Structure 1
Amino acid sequence: MLILNSHVLAHLAILAPGLLGASVAKAARARNAARSITIWARRPETRDALRAQPFADTIADTPADAVRDADLVVLAAPVEKIIELAVQIAPALKPGAIVTDVGSVKARICRECAAAMPPHALFIGSHPMAGSAKSGWENADASLFENCTTFVMQPENELQVSAFAFALKVASVCDFWDSLGATPVIVTPSQHDEIVAHISHLPQALATTLAALLAKKNPEWRDYAGNGLRDTTRIAASDATMWVDIFQQNRDDILRALDACQAELAAFRDALEKNDLPQLRARLETGKQFRDAL
């Protein structure tokens, strides 16, 4: 049984913690969401440093050791490493174990991780819409998931188990995120990837493109920039390697989002070229209304 009572998890394992994974551990400890927390990190020096942290009971030397007794396993690795890690731990999972993740792209991860699971365990993907300008486990924050929308994946098909059994497991994963202060939302992987392509991946592409445009046009103009440009391009400072992997995994949905954005920009440009002030105002008002509601 995954959830014992009041959302208290018996044994939680977190693999490859960075900011998100360590924040899961910190939040679970602060909120008494897990009775025992085991962590595994790739680098020996990171494992040594984590042994001094109060949010972990055990630091495992291998992924298999970390998950052997775990009721819930959280794969907190970068998106390009999640599938590899799921395959690696599959033989060590105990009966009834659930594996989830925190990756920001879901279709391929959910498909391949689910296929890697043994018959007695399940993979149910997750994606907390949380983050920080800082990275690394050292910057973990126990409050990171408070009031944070967290997507929990309902499978596109439920051939591996009965729909009822899978629904119970999805509910258990939702309960876990709820216990950390998050707001779980159940979607399919394809729904998730379309949503985040527009609300997360497209903004990253636009912020990066704007910053790159200004760097080419005249880098010295940054000396005159106000808060508007800083706010608009803040996420352009994100890790490039991480985003290349995300763009590659969600390429089709991001391309469709870029096409839609290009169409909107073309319509805006057309209104400006024709001096169609009512159309310009309408577009500005639509954008303002959406932003005011965020």
Structure 2
Amino acid sequence: MRIYALVPATLQLILVENVRLLDRLSSRKAAVGTLYLTATHVIFVENGSETRKETWVLHSQISSIEKQATTATGSPLLIRCKNFQVMQLVIPQERDCHNVYISLIRLARPVKYEELYCFSFNPKLNKEEREKGWKLVDLNEEYNRMGIPNSYWQISDVNRDYGVCDSYPTEVYVPKSATAHIIVGSSKFRSRRRFPALSYYCKDNNASICRSSQPLSGFSARCLEDEQMLQAIRKANPGSDFIYVVDTRPKVSKASSGAIPDTELPRDPRAVPRNDAAELGRAEHPRRRAAWRLREVEPAADLPAPEQPHPLL
């Protein structure tokens, strides 16, 4: 095994020779080649003299990694991917297999944002060329095109340094009557602290579309600040006396999170008046449904388990 410097510096680029790649779907002889573990991919290159076949697996596509018991022929390593691809490798030395296993866990499941490759990638471009990519889309220019800011909507820096929501921009557009206290209070009531923020505005009729996450799972208490935020959004739409609250989650997701149907919600005169709650009524995602059907016809051991939400997503 040969080891080289790898970005980020806390990891190492691993190159292991004489690795066997087993074909689980046919009885053909296992391919022998070299395994490369880079900052972004697992690469297996066969040793064939005629055509050097390569197998590439992106780290973010790895669903699970299983280090199996050592045998007389080597140490097996089973890699299951989210697209149902399965790689079964046999590494000659147990120590090499352990190093690959530990490194893959770090690369496939980073704990902190700083461990993602994009933060350590250093392209061979000057500063001006690197900054071009950040200027392809200008959010402020897009909102200006829609007629924002105006007498109803304003830009807010409440999320500066990503202090309120780490998945929102540092500057967001909110109703003028929404104070920082209301925004922060509403964010604490919602998943991932994604408070209602302006996504689209029609300057012809002053209609707007705001988007936010759902309330915290199993949360049944009321939130005064969140109600005030919805009131502010209603006032920022002068063409209508009410707003629509649309739940776009699949029914299965709403049921598992303990969401209460709108018909069972108590009507309170202090709440936002005449709000109509609507559901898109869409079923579970077809791709997820197809994945479960595939699990029913294939051996469970050969398919990855249902993917759990990643902490960084």
Normalised-by-shorter TM-score class: under 0.3
Between structure 1 and structure 2, the one with the greater Rg is: 2
Structure showing the higher strand proportion among its residues: 2
TM-score, normalised relative to structure 2: 0.24
Structure showing the higher helix proportion among its residues: 1
Q: Which has the higher contact order (CA 8 A, sep 6+)?
A: 1
